[in-house]
Amino acid sequence: MDRLRLQSKPPSNDDFTTLPLYRSAPSFEVRLEDFELYAIDRLRVLKAISDGLSRGKKPEEMDKLVFDLWKANMRHPLASEVINKDIISHFVLRLVYCRTEDLRKWFLSMETALFRYRFQREAAEVQKALMAELDLPYKAVRTAEFESIKDKLGQVARSLGQSLPTAGDIIYKVPFEEVPELVAGRRVFIHKGHAYVAKNQVVSLVATRFRSLLSKALILTNRKWTSTIREDEKDRLTPIVEALCTSYLGPDYSQSKEFAEISIKDIDQVAKSSFPLCMRHLFEKLREDHHLKHGGRMQLGLFLKGVGLNLDDALTFWKAEFSRKVGSERFDKEYAYSIRHNYGREGKRTDYTPYSCQKIISSTPGVGDHHGCPYRHFSEENLRAALFRMGVNGSAVEDVMEKVRNRHYQLACTLTFEAIHGSTYDVGVNHPNQYFTDSQKIQKAKGHSSA
């Protein structure tokens, strides 16, 4: 009973390269312990990638990180087993992370990131083979066409600080939809619907395709999971699968558990003592302007929900502020809906979860917006002033600024936490609600010891 036949499909062509595309499930037998151990090893890699990305590591740093992680966790005493371990662990985690939208999203991002860094280290021939296998039949543009757009390509290359393209360079012409990430960053020349992708950018094209295939596969896996696997495997795989994801992703802070509820009358006080800077800033702006734009309402509103503000209190709280600016009638008409929506009482009826640091750091606040991560989005001057108002002084400010300069925004927030609470905080800040909960714990402990 401790052996498991995963699926009997013919082996894919994946075998001839060391970087598999995971197009079909493996057809060999796996020991049940390996099933779990391999998955945990891969999860370590994915988790560390996630941490690296959320700390704003640069591409070169990420490349090294992924390479080291892979070597440390995914080796196997038998050389022949290395590729099997890779494939098995991927498919096990697919099962683990197919079950909700959030899990799928996380897994998709991390697997794509992993694939991307591994792809970049492959030799040109292997890269070519992988492209063909992913049905990316793009041909390099011909010399005549190249000459006609050479100036524009040069302009793009220079805008990115790269060397100019020469006639021998391979440039692929692809529909712009195939390379959304290059379009978003204005890293390609786009003309009449076609993006001109340089050879060193091909990874983006490949990763996008990899991602979309995996995304579709995860939906299918989810269907299979809910319709058959969960029930069929309820004594064997299901417990392993369910344990695997909860133990590693951490809590989502959608419901505040430890401090059952906060009430409106305490909110000013706890905002001062236990809100992280991003939330404190939004809170103060709301009190000051009696208004926040959409991004700010979402970031603060969901945070407050996680802190334990119930729907009725949330409505009262937001209304008290907004009605001073837009009148209570307009509040009821235009804003109350979205607050109920956050609590899952309107629209799709999803109970939305508070934003994590990663999400907040990667947000893009615009003119008139106050959301985002202050450590990332404030100017140095404004950040210093804000830290001062929080009670961070002297060398602690310089330590924070140092982290900010190195783009370690969560570490900067962690240092702020330590300075304010006068205690070390080794776990580090990953979520504003975690900051809040741990701050409250420390405050309560202090209250007890002094009483």
Partner 1 sequence: MAREEVENARDDMIIDGQMKGNGAFSNDFNPNLLKLYYGKLFPHADLFKWMSYGNDGKHPACDKSYFGRREFSFTLDNDIYVRFQSFYTLSELENSIKDKCPFKIDIGPVYSVDPAKRHAYAQSNDKVFTPVERELVFDIDITDYDDIRYCCSGADVCLDCWPLMTVAIKVVDTALRDDFGFNHILWVYSGRRGVHCWVCDAKARRLNNEQRAAIADYFRVYQGNENSNKKISLSGPVLHPFLARSYSEVLRDFFETKLLPCQQLFSDEERYEKILEMIPDESVTSELRGKWHSNKRSSNLKEDINCVRWEQLKHSLQSGKQKAQGLRRCVEEIVFSFTYPRLDMEVSKHMNHLLKAPFCIHPKTGRVCVPIDPIHCDEFDPTTVPTLSELFEELNRGGHKIDGIDEWDRTSLGESIRFFRSSFLQPLLKSCKEEMESSYTAKQRLANNSLSW
Give the residue ranges of the annotated binding site for [4Fe-4S] cluster: 278, 357, 373, 413
375 scored as a contact of partner 1 (CB under 8 A) = no
67 scored as a contact of partner 1 (CB under 8 A) = no
Give the tokens for residue 100. Answer: 């909700």
47/110 Cα distance (integer angstroms): 8
327 scored as a contact of partner 1 (CB under 8 A) = yes
Task: Kindly indicate which of the ranges 149-157, 163-171, 239-247, 421-429 contains the residues binding partner 1, using the contact rule CB under 8 A.
Answer: 149-157
394 scored as a contact of partner 1 (CB under 8 A) = no
309/260 Cα distance (integer angstroms): 9
What sections of 327-423 are H helices per DSSP?
328-330, 336-342, 357-361, 374-377, 380-390, 395-405, 409-421
Kindly tell me which of 42 and 99 has the beta carbon lying closer to partner 1: 99
86/75 Cα distance (integer angstroms): 9
> What does the DSSP 8-state code read for residue 201?
G
Residues 381, 395, 448, 450: which binds partner 1 (CB under 8 A)? 381
Task: Kindly indicate which of the ranges 5-13, 52-60, 76-84, 187-195 contains the residues binding partner 1, using the contact rule CB under 8 A.
Answer: 187-195
Minimum Å gap between C-beta 11 and partner 1 is: 29
- Under 8 Å between Cβ of 358 and 102: no
11 scored as a contact of partner 1 (CB under 8 A) = no
What's the distance, Cα to Cα, between the start and end of the chain in Å?
Answer: 59
Task: Provide the mask over 199-228, with x wherever binding to partner 1 is found by CB under 8 A and - wherever it is not.
Answer: ------------------------x--x--
Residue 267 parent element (H or E): helix 264-274
Residues 249, 326, 397, 442: which binds partner 1 (CB under 8 A)? 326
Q: Among candidates 349, 416, 353, 404, which has minimal Cα distance to 380?
A: 404
Block residue for tokens 């119930």: 310
Annotated binding site: 278, 357, 373, 413
How do 171-175 and 194-198 pair as beta strands? Answer: antiparallel
Give the tokens for residue 18. Answer: 């060391």
Residues 22, 115, 117, 189: which binds partner 1 (CB under 8 A)? 189
328 scored as a contact of partner 1 (CB under 8 A) = no
Minimum Å gap between C-beta 385 and partner 1 is: 9
389 scored as a contact of partner 1 (CB under 8 A) = no
CA gyration radius, the chain: 25
Kindly tell me which of 320 and 336 has the beta carbon lying closer to partner 1: 336
188/195 Cα distance (integer angstroms): 6
**Site residues (CB under 8 A) for partner 1?**
152, 155-156, 158-161, 176-177, 180-181, 183-186, 189-194, 223, 226, 281, 294, 326-327, 330, 333, 337, 364-372, 374, 377-379, 381-383
